[in-house]
């Protein structure tokens, strides 16, 4: 039997702000990996809870875990996450590695999660960003998302080092979209991005709900869909899709309201015109494929009914 070649070396960065409730899930998941990271930098971004103490217990036994404090931000924001991640990248830049990952401090996963992803990078030299599907309470990105397999969720987003350098790291924007911008920019530059369905991770804090409820989070995501350059045609179908999922109508309506409100205010967009055009082309391609599949299934159903008669 031909032996597997050595897996690429990797490092991890985890921005952490008041994650005491969940971070031990992440710590246990990573220290139990079948392939350990060369370095894991946890960037403590102004915590006011005991996150640092929890991390400290693990770093004593695992010297490759390093806790790095940053000055306290006045409020939680996605710009804070971007700045913390980029600061972590600077701290590992001198190390010899091929793969670097952003891992949120409120997730857990199987012991071979990173070994699986490292093999995917090893198999495909054009793979620039990779991750897996994820689950939350009442949500599964494999079945409940409208994004498709090219989208890589920001809670666990793994980059080829060269790809991350090409996209310029995370672009700080207080309202969000930092990880989305990185992934779409990577594809625009010719890199492959993929969310693999063979594995998954669990996200303990529902997306966008830090400090707010589900409806407010959906409204905020609608705003984000606008300022990231999303097509209004795509948005109508996205909102309709969410409206038929629990809690039915409410989140879909909130998504649409957020998009329309951002459009009325002409909310500034942090993306380039080139990136927005690329994004909309991708959306229309995916929408045509989705509608094409629905039409084929409908024809098949009619044929089956006719044959049954």
Q: Each residue's pLDDT tens digit in the chain (309 positions)?
A: 344 579 999 999 999 988 999 999 999 999 999 999 999 999 988 778 999 999 999 999 999 999 999 876 645 556 788 999 999 999 999 999 999 999 999 999 999 999 999 999 999 999 999 999 999 988 888 887 767 799 999 999 999 999 999 999 998 876 678 899 999 999 999 999 999 999 999 999 876 555 568 889 899 889 999 999 999 999 999 999 888 888 889 999 999 999 999 999 999 888 899 999 999 999 999 899 888 887 776 665 554 545 455
d(Cα 102, Cα 96) in Å, to the nearest integer?
Answer: 17
d(Cα 163, Cα 54) in Å, to the nearest integer?
Answer: 32
- Please report the pLDDT score of residue 203 as a whole number: 96
Buried b (16+ CB within 10 A) or exposed e, 156-174: bbbbbbebbeebebbbbbe
Q: Which residues contact 219 (CB under 8 A, 6 or more apart)?
A: 254, 255, 257, 258, 261
Question: Which among 38, 156, 40, 41 is positioned nearest to 97, based on CA atoms?
Answer: 38
**Cross-strand pairs, 160:** 99
Buried b (16+ CB within 10 A) or exposed e, 222-236: bbbbbbbbbbeebbe
- Please report the pLDDT score of residue 186 as a whole number: 98
Supply the Cα-derived Rg of the chain in whole angstroms: 20
- Please report the pLDDT score of residue 247 as a whole number: 80
- pTM higher than the cut 0.85: no
- Please report the pLDDT score of residue 78 as a whole number: 66
Domains and CATH numbers, the chain: 10-203 (3.90.550.10), 214-285 (no CATH)
- Please report the pLDDT score of residue 74 as a whole number: 47
């Amino acid at each position: 039997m031909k032996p597997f070649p050595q897996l690429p070396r990797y490092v991890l960065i985890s921005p952490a702000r008041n994650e005491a409730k969940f971070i031990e899930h992440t710590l246990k998941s990573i220290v139990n990996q079948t392939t350990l990271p060369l370095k894991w930098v946890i960037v403590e971004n102004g915590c006011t809870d005991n996150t640092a103490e929890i991390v400290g217990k693990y770093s004593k036994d695992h010297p490759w875990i390093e806790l790095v404090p940053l000055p306290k931000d006045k409020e939680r924001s996605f710009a804070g996450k971007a700045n913390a991640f980029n600061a972590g990248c600077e701290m590992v830049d001198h190390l010899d590695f091929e793969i670097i990952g952003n891992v949120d401090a409120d997730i857990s996963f199987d012991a071979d999660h990173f070994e699986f992803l490292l093999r995917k990078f090893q198999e495909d030299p054009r793979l620039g960003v990779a991750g897996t599907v994820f689950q939350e309470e009442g949500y599964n990105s494999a079945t409940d998302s409208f994004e498709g397999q090219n989208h890589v969720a920001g809670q666990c987003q793994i980059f080829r080092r060269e790809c991350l350098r090409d996209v310029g790291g995370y672009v700080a924007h207080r309202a969000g979209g930092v990880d989305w911008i990185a992934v779409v920019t990577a594809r625009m530059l010719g890199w492959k991005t993929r969310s693999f369905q063979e594995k998954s991770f669990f996200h303990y804090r529902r997306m966008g709900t830090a400090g707010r409820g589900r409806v407010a989070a959906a409204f905020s995501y609608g705003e984000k869909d606008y300022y990231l350059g999303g097509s209004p045609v795509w948005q109508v179908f996205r909102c309709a899709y969410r409206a038929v999922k629990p809690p039915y109508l409410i989140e879909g309506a909130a998504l649409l309201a957020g998009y329309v409100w951002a459009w009325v205010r002409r909310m500034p967009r942090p993306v380039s015109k080139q990136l927005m055009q690329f994004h909309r082309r991708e959306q229309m391609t995916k929408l045509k494929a989705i509608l094409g599949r629905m039409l084929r299934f409908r024809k098949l159903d009619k044929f089956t009914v006719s044959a049954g008669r």
